[in-house]
Amino acid sequence: MQKFCKTCNKKFEIREEDLIFYEQVKTTPPLFCPDCRMMQRLAFRNERTFYKRTCDLCKKNIISIYTGSAPFPIYCHECWWSDAWDPKSFAQDYDLNKTFFEQYKKLQSKVPRLALMIVNSVRSEYTNGAAENKDCYLIFAADYNQDCLYGRLVQRSRSCVDCAFIYDSELCYECIDVHKCFKCMYSEQCEGSSDLIFCYNMRDSNNCIFCTNGRHISNAILNVKYTKEEYEKKKTEIFSNYENIEKAKKEFEELKKKTIVKYALQTKCHKVTGDYIYNCYDGESVFDSSDLKNCSYMADAESGIDSMDCNNYYHKNELCYNIMGVLQSSKSKNCAFVFYSNEAEYCENCYHMTNAFGCIAIRKGQYMILNKEYSKEKYFELRKEIDEQMKKDDTFGQFFPPEIAPFGFNETLGYDYYPITKEESIKRGFNWQNQTTGTYGKETIKEKDMPKTIGEVTENILNEILVCKDCKKNFRITKSELDFYKRMNIPLPHKDFECRHQDRMKKRNPRKLWHRSCMCEVKNHQHGTEKCENEFETSYSPDRPEIVYCETCYQQEVY
């Protein structure tokens, strides 16, 4: 089935498998293309934009993902989870003479929200979407870490700084998509390795510089074996000053352009399209996910079956549809942040719910509509009337409209993957945040006067205000950050955290697929003297410089 997106007018396909799923979960086909649907969901996820404000209950100063001018109350962690207030006290009667979203927005303006999502963490107040962390600072979507700073999707790691999508690693810096690595810097897509510098797609290797697609190698530069002394000499040269590191970054980018790459970063996957995925089966357009079966249009997902159109979907979910942030739930649809819930729809920030519709901040309940409890019979009777009403106004089965999102689009994760302008955002119906965080023009050290080496830096730097070379925003160096730089012999950064984060995100492939064919022409491969004819869906666009191979050719060339 071909349809045109209601927002961008782009043609998109609804597969037969999609129609079967929609019937299974009792919803209607979407009116929006997969990209626009993801934008709508991600507009509900602000991870990194923090504001100083006060808790509206205890009045203490707090850090929050909501501005001081937010239309709803904001509570600190202790107050939100306390018995000092009851979310059910905000219950509203449903008025069939008004639209559902009109009534939902009224409820949304009254119910208190949690300032930050932090669970069981120690001295890690400046984190969000994070749990079980100790002595961490500005890490997001991150669990079970210690002494980690400045990162997104940092998992079970220690003393890692400025990293993204890093797992089970230690003492890493500026690494992306690495697993089980130690003392690696400026490296991408590496696993089980140590002491890698500017390396790409390495396995079980150590002491390598400017190496790509290496397996079981050590003391190598540009994939050529050198003595330990020669390796150390090259390392010393790179880290001698800030200028040499910047030069090495450019060399590394040029090196990657000439590197053979596999069409997608997939491991143990079968009949699934997407990238950065592990142990996934039977799916379409799946990104940054693992252990999924029969799931499509998913991103940042783990351990689930029979679901579609979900982001940040974790720990054994089933039959979920169009959800932003879900944990161990089933048969839930069109929600944002629902945990341990079943058959919830159009709910936000709810826990342990069963049969709920249009609820906010409920921590335990069943048969509820707009935070009001009903008998089982009355609940299903009213739900039927609401469904008929929403079918008439063409909103049945669709996600929250963009204006319902509690953030400006430029504050959210959506802006990372879809960096649209303010004008385009407003045209699409999203909110926009004009109040920017941070200060400008307060620097005590100009960017041109920054120390060239870490050896020149004393603890006096902790009292200085620096300026980002790109966005000109002011930032500071923290004590734990300085200790790390000195330990690893790394010069101070010349950019603030947000610009460094955006630089890392640009190095990853987009969440978009192109149909391409293998570029391999190696004559001793299985295709012989002819060019390989294998075709695939890949996140490498046709105008990219990389040499893209199918799985078979890549394994013959690299492994």
pLDDT, tens digit (0-9, with 9 covering 90-100), for 342-370: 999 999 999 999 999 999 999 999 999 99
Domain stops at, among 193, 227, 262 = 262
Residue 35 pLDDT class (50, 70, 90 cuts): very high
Residue 289 and residue 177 share a domain: no
Q: Of 268, 282, 276, 333, give the one whose Cα is nearest residue 301.
A: 276
Residue 164 and residue 234 share a domain: yes
| pLDDT at residue 524, as a whole number | 85
Other beta carbons less than 10 A from residue 520's beta carbon: 23
| Averaged pLDDT, 477-503 | 96
Residue with the two structure tokens 């009337």 = 385
Whether 220 has a pLDDT exceeding 80, the answer reads: yes
Q: Of 239, 151, 244, give the one whose Cα is nearest residue 488.
A: 239
Domain stops at, among 262, 284, 319 = 262
338 in any annotated domain: no
d(CA 508, CA 512): 11
| pLDDT at residue 436, as a whole number | 73
Other beta carbons less than 10 A from residue 303's beta carbon: 16
Other beta carbons less than 10 A from residue 204's beta carbon: 15
| Averaged pLDDT, 323-334 | 96
pLDDT, tens digit (0-9, with 9 covering 90-100), for 104-132: 999 999 999 999 999 999 999 999 999 99
| pLDDT at residue 435, as a whole number | 79
Q: How many residues does the chain have?
A: 559
pLDDT, tens digit (0-9, with 9 covering 90-100), for 141-170: 999 999 999 999 999 999 999 999 999 999
Residue 258 and residue 272 share a domain: no
| pLDDT at residue 154, as a whole number | 97
Q: Of 47, 44, 174, 72, give the one whose Cα is nearest residue 485.
A: 174
Whether 97 has a pLDDT exceeding 90, the answer reads: yes
Residue 247 and residue 198 share a domain: yes
DSSP tag of 491: P
Query: What radius of gyration, in Å, describes the C-alpha atoms of the chain?
Result: 25
| Averaged pLDDT, 170-193 | 98
d(CA 357, CA 312): 21
Q: Which residues of 109-146 are buried (b: 16+ CB within 10 A; e: fewer)?
A: eebbbbbbbbeebeebebbbbbbbbebbbbbbbbbbbb
Residue 177 and residue 289 share a domain: no
| pLDDT at residue 534, as a whole number | 95
Number of structural domains in the chain = 4
| pLDDT at residue 172, as a whole number | 98
Residue 301 and residue 195 share a domain: no
Residue 167 and residue 236 share a domain: yes
Residue 525 pLDDT class (50, 70, 90 cuts): confident
* Cα dist from 515 to 269, 305, 551, whole Å: 18, 26, 15
Work out the angle between the directed axes of helices 100-108 and 376-392 (0-180°, nearest 10). Answer: 120
| pLDDT at residue 529, as a whole number | 82
d(CA 322, CA 338): 12
269: tokens are 């996957």
Whether 383 has a pLDDT exceeding 90, the answer reads: yes
Q: Of 328, 347, 330, give the one whose Cα is nearest residue 339.
A: 328
Residues of the domain holding 214: 129-262
| pLDDT at residue 272, as a whole number | 97
94 in any annotated domain: no
277: tokens are 């995925």
Please measure the distance between the N-terminal and C-terminal CA atoms of the chain and give it in whole angstroms: 41
Are the C-beta atoms of residues 184 and 199 closer than 8 Å to each other? Answer: yes
Query: What is the DSSP track for 45-101?
Result: ---S--EEEE-TTT--EEEESS-TT-SS-EE-HHHHTSSS--GGGG-----TTS-HH
| Averaged pLDDT, 71-93 | 96
Beta strands 348-351 and 333-339: pairing type? parallel
430 in any annotated domain: no
257 in any annotated domain: yes
241: tokens are 């000053």
Helices and strands per DSSP (H, E), number in the chain: 12, 33
Q: Of 175, 240, 236, give the one whose Cα is nearest residue 454.
A: 240
| Averaged pLDDT, 211-229 | 95
d(CA 302, CA 286): 11
Whether 198 has a pLDDT exceeding 90, the answer reads: yes
Residue 287 and residue 271 share a domain: yes
494: tokens are 């010349």
85 in any annotated domain: no
pTM: 0.94
Residue 289 and residue 176 share a domain: no
| pLDDT at residue 259, as a whole number | 94
358 in any annotated domain: no
d(CA 130, CA 106): 29
| Averaged pLDDT, 251-274 | 96
Residue 541 and residue 467 share a domain: no
Residue 279 and residue 182 share a domain: no
Q: In the predicted model, what is the mean pLDDT of the chain? A: 96
363 in any annotated domain: no
Residue 233 and residue 198 share a domain: yes
Residue 431 pLDDT class (50, 70, 90 cuts): very high
Whether 514 has a pLDDT exceeding 80, the answer reads: yes
Are the C-beta atoms of residues 265 and 280 closer than 8 Å to each other? Answer: no
41 in any annotated domain: no
| pLDDT at residue 216, as a whole number | 96
| pLDDT at residue 527, as a whole number | 87
Residue 183 pLDDT class (50, 70, 90 cuts): very high
d(CA 66, CA 114): 9
